[in-house]
């Protein structure tokens, strides 16, 4: 009475970051990979017989294992490699659709990267007929360090499972706002200086926690922008987890990461000059 129409199945949005550590100048490839397969899938839909199905979990694992084994050059090449592997390797799979998005990064230092694509610049002004307060800022400035980040020595209780680490990827999407005590004269130059201060502090701070990096970033803005009296930062900890490639007989010496999008740590804080004037309604 009914017939099965077009169908496909796969793993959507496998977020893989491949780090290549040739000496001090690291390279990263940051991909969002979606695979979708189709073929002899009548039985699985009509009777629940899974014999023709290559699990979506396997498709995800293949993405990670191939990132390690073959590296990632052009995304077209990587997509072709995956598509051919699925179709040529499994007689029940006749068609593979592999879609890849690549997020572009520019290197700021050997191990420090800022994601290409402009952040959003923000400002908030209050004026009550007498006094004007100006808060400048930016949001979604995405940065990543492939090394020089540790996290250990923290509190542990019966629910703590996080392993201590002496070397991890540290990544965040910076939201920063800075309050001016006066007017800098050139707002454009002031913004460029603050932005550069944030990026440079992120790149050059050897981090024992994102909290420490936050303070360094705020302090650098205060150092470089004399008219700024307070900096508020929101730093989501964009966790990058090393993928366990052991089951595939592959080691993973800081090369292939799963870029998780949630949940994420959220580190927030303000850095002020000791003599900062009251904020009034500046942040309201």
Ligand X SMILES: O=c1[nH]c(=O)c2[nH]c(=O)[nH]c2[nH]1
Q: What secondary structure letter does DSSP report for 151? A: B
Selected binder of ligand X within 25, 162, 189, 192 (CB under 6 A) = 162
Selected binder of ligand X within 64, 66, 78, 151 (CB under 6 A) = 151
110 belongs to the binding site for ligand X (CB under 6 A):
no
Q: Helix (H, G, I), strand (E, B), or coil: what is residue 126?
A: strand
Q: Any binding-site annotation on 57?
A: yes
Query: 132 or 260, CB closer to ligand X?
Result: 260
Which of the following is catalytic: 60, 68, 239, 240? 239
In the complex, the smallest distance separating the C-beta of residue 265 from ligand X, rounded to whole angstroms, is: 5
147 belongs to the binding site for ligand X (CB under 6 A):
no
215 belongs to the binding site for ligand X (CB under 6 A):
no
Q: Is 70 known to be catalytic?
A: no
Instruction: Return the structure tokens found at 194.
Output: 């603050």
Q: Any binding-site annotation on 42?
A: no
Give dist(CA 96, CA 88) in Å, integer: 10
Say if CB 238 and CB 173 are below 8 A apart: yes
Q: Is 85 known to be catalytic?
A: no
Q: Any binding-site annotation on 56?
A: yes
Give dist(CA 115, CA 48) in Å, integer: 44
End-to-end CA distance of the chain: 63
Q: What secondary structure letter does DSSP report for 58? A: H
Read off φ and ψ for residue 144, nearest 5 degrees: -150, 135
Q: Tokens 């695979």: give the residue.
A: 35
Query: 220 or 239, CB closer to ligand X?
Result: 239
Instruction: Give bridge partners of residue 151 from the DSSP assignment.
Output: 165
Selected binder of ligand X within 71, 110, 254, 265 (CB under 6 A) = 265
Binding residues for O2: 56, 237
Residues with a catalytic annotation lie at: 11, 56, 239
Chain residues in the site for ligand X (CB under 6 A) = 151, 162, 209-211, 237, 265
Binding residues for urate: 56-57, 151, 168, 211, 237
């Amino acid at each position: 009475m009914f017939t099965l129409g077009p169908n496909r199945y796969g793993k959507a949005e496998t977020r893989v970051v491949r780090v290549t550590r040739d000496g001090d100048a690291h390279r990263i490839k940051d991909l969002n990979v979606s695979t979708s397969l189709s073929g002899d899938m009548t039985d699985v839909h009509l009777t629940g017989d899974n014999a023709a199905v290559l699990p979506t979990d396997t498709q995800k694992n293949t993405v990670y294992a191939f990132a390690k084994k073959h590296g990632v050059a052009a995304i077209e090449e990587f997509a072709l490699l995956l598509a051919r592997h699925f179709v040529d390797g499994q007689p029940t799979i006749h068609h593979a659709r592999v879609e890849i998005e690549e997020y572009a990064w520019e290197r700021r230092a050997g191990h420090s990267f800022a994601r290409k694509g402009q952040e959003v610049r923000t400002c908030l002004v209050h004026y009550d007929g007498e006094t004007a307060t100006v808060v400048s800022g930016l949001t979604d400035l995405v940065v990543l360090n492939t090394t020089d980040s540790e996290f250990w020595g923290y509190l542990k209780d019966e629910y703590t499972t996080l392993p201590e680490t002496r070397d991890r990827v540290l990544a965040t999407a910076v939201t920063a706002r800075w309050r001016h005590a006066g007017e800098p004269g050139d707002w454009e130059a002031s913004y460029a200086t603050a932005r550069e201060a944030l990026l440079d502090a992120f790149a050059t701070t050897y981090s024992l926690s994102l909290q420490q990096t936050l303070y360094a970033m705020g302090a650098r803005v205060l150092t470089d922008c004399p008219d700024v009296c307070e900096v508020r930062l929101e730093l989501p900890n964009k966790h990058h987890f090393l993928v366990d490639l052991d089951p595939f007989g592959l080691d993973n010496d800081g090369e292939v990461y799963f870029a998780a999008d949630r949940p994420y740590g959220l580190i927030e804080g303000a850095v002020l000059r000791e003599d900062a004037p009251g904020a009034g309604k500046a942040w309201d």
